[in-house]
Structure 1
């Protein structure tokens, strides 16, 4: 069997060595996208209205050339698509006062543009139903199909009619963490039944077939997320190295899948798969579409908990060595064999947190950690309904459309910021900065981050449950 192990070890050693002197995107960042710099050392741009374009809008801020950190003086709903034309961008949704930011359109980068270096935190993306411009085959909530070096943290995304998040066209060096992917559209009357989670693929598997194409795929980290009511692809990753750790999937059919020609190494660790009412559960489905086995993939599975009453309840290590699991589920096809599965680390780019607690099932412990902290804050009615149905073990695949996305959310006024640099006067005064000097946002602070980063990072770390859990039980 072909092995990538030696190559990946060399790559990861190089990454580790080169990153020692680097700052993470923010202190809690993990995984392959952790060292995105976003708009660091650039300008600060304020969003001052909820228009979908024009002066003061989010789109205008994103359209601005160069490194930029986008903060919000407003909160509420932006009704329209948001296109990201170039990278070196931080979108700090945690700064939106009171009600957070919901985009009732698509968040996307264009195909074949290779947009790079983005940090996005605490944003909700909930597009309208498919139409002629965005048919159901392309109706992803977030499309970063061939972007690279980016991290999504505390994102709430829903209502995709294809995938909720599309990374298909070779997106690489990506982290999706502490996010909440719920209610992909399922509407049999309109034929919108492709209700799925996350997909990543590489359009070519080797340098000869890539013809100079830099879209590599792989280097994907899916960490500490909740998926609800997604038929499958929670996630679908076909190119490694990729890691799927400490995620919880409820009411899906298939959890981890490939769904494309596949190669590389995959860590699938500490996840929970909980059966729901809409379909029979199959936690893993290794289904590469390669035409010429042996398939060049390797897997490390450990501490994955399956809660499927009547079929299987327990922790799955190596499924090939688990007779009760093998008796209940078909989990491989297309040339995958038992020798591709290991019980030792292929690579370990992110620390494995298994959330074990004495006397507590892995599923209960993971659920207790994730539900208070995942997604964009404050939670809106969609997020609350998703988490309620997870907790109560009910609900269904459907096109869940609340009549009022702002129900229970109250926009407030932003804090006083005399110099307009994105940092409130009180915060600047407490840090020895000058609230009347609009040029001190890039001052390097004791943390190593710039002043504006220190402010937005600290703000994010106190949202939700007041603790961002990154190392298991504290």
Structure 2
């Protein structure tokens, strides 16, 4: 460690935030806000779009230890991507020009506790089901038993089961500023399970939850857009959980359980918009506990429903809105009105690793979300989805444009003489050395390492440009 790095480290140690006090990145919120990903580890460069082998994304993921993965290329990676080890940051925002699309599934091994993952600005668009990924297992992102994961500005589509699967007890998850669209709907092939997100604690099904069982819950679904999902936008059966400031378009049931239920749920500031395919039921509280005393409770506030044939307006406690009660059958199976009697939102602030969500009124979500969600630059799939939401058009279908790179132009990476993931020009501007390959771990005044400061700045700049320039289409 050179003298400059040591001096900065000592300054931060005595005067600045510790790593445990730093968010994954400044905009991180919810139950996974403080995951560290690959912080402090090696910087690995993806130098080609191959599915495997030297220089590939898969090769970087296969390495052990903390690592931050950056990209010298942009375009489409054809094939599944497996995350066998945690302690990793995947910085898709570094891909020059055209971003990164995975034309395959993104997954962690089922039954393994893969922990501590940050993924930003990645598009995931798997092909049709086949013998390796049959329809009932065909999730675009499958993190069933992962923990402590934050997904930010992810653009994911074409699941034939769930779009994102968290069913096997995954916990401490944040999905934020992301875009879930076009789950596969193709009745001619029997592919009709076009769903959004599912989280559960499977041991509850047998009533045999032992110490150490995967918990589920601790889930934050915030600032996302769902289009053309039949339901499960999301399906959460285990609390604590929160669903805040999301837009759901052209689905049936928005929030559901679809499993045995336990815990506390905040459902705040969302929009539920009827589309062409099916009549809307914004909430469906459907526990499978088979008891008259379901151990769950709810806070609903400022949820906008756009359903011209039944209801247009804001829903807080649905039991206290006569128009809503008369328009929808929104509960079953032991759910009672007294489970909705809280006077304010549940406070999760004392839960380790949680950061409170900045909430916006449901009335301005279009203005805030439609420019921002998903991976940038947007591809044709994302643009089509957002256009259909704006125009209130489109349908459930297997939407597969022939060229996922249409309108996107890969560019050359910036000069990086020491191959530490930070361009020479940026290092010079920050007082770092463009020929010192170890200074990516320098602690900057913010408390983040230099490489984190660089990649976080790229992601923040993308959002700033979007908000300044308006909707890109």
Q: In structure 1, the residue corresponding to 2:189 is in which secondary structure?
A: coil
Question: 1:291: which partner in 2?
Answer: 290
Tell me how far 1:49 sits from its aligned partner. 0.2
RMSD over equivalenced CA pairs, Å: 1.7
Distance 2:467 2:439 in 1: 28
- Tell me if structure 2 keeps the 8 A contact 1:423–1:452: yes
Distance 1:431 1:45 in 2: 21
Aligned residue-pair number? 446
**1:67-102 superposed Cα distances (whole Å, 9 cap, x missing partner):** 000000000000000010010000000000000000
Question: 1:74: which partner in 2?
Answer: 73
Q: In structure 2, the residue corresponding to 1:151 is in which secondary structure?
A: strand
- Tell me if structure 1 keeps the 8 A contact 2:290–2:334: no
Distance 2:91 2:359 in 1: 29
Distance 1:433 1:352 in 2: 34
Question: 1:346: which partner in 2?
Answer: 346
- Tell me if structure 1 keeps the 8 A contact 2:29–2:357: no
Distance 1:367 1:107 in 2: 29
Mapping for residues 44-55 of structure 1, pairs under 5 Å:
44-55=43-54
Question: 2:438: which partner in 1?
Answer: 439
Tell me how far 1:353 sits from its aligned partner. 4.6
Mapping for residues 170-185 of structure 1, pairs under 5 Å:
170-185=169-184
- Tell me if structure 1 keeps the 8 A contact 2:171–2:219: yes
Question: 1:272: which partner in 2?
Answer: 271
Question: 1:108: which partner in 2?
Answer: 107
Q: In structure 2, the residue corresponding to 1:62 is in which secondary structure?
A: helix
Change (3 A) 1:229 1:19: farther
- Tell me if structure 1 keeps the 8 A contact 2:20–2:34: no
Please, which moves more after superposition, 288-297 or 240-249?
A: 288-297
Distance 1:88 1:194 in 2: 33
Question: 2:42: which partner in 1?
Answer: 43
| Unaligned stretches of 5+ residues in structure 2 | 1-16, 350-354, 469-473
| Unaligned stretches of 5+ residues in structure 1 | 1-17, 357-361, 470-474
Distance 2:205 2:444 in 1: 44
Mapping for residues 72-471 of structure 1, pairs under 5 Å:
72-205=71-204, 209-341=208-340, 342-349=342-349, 351=356, 353-356=358-361, 362-363=362-363, 365-466=364-465
- Tell me if structure 2 keeps the 8 A contact 1:170–1:217: yes
Distance 1:35 1:468 in 2: 26
TM-score by length of 1: 0.92
Distance 2:463 2:447 in 1: 25
- Tell me if structure 1 keeps the 8 A contact 2:30–2:357: no
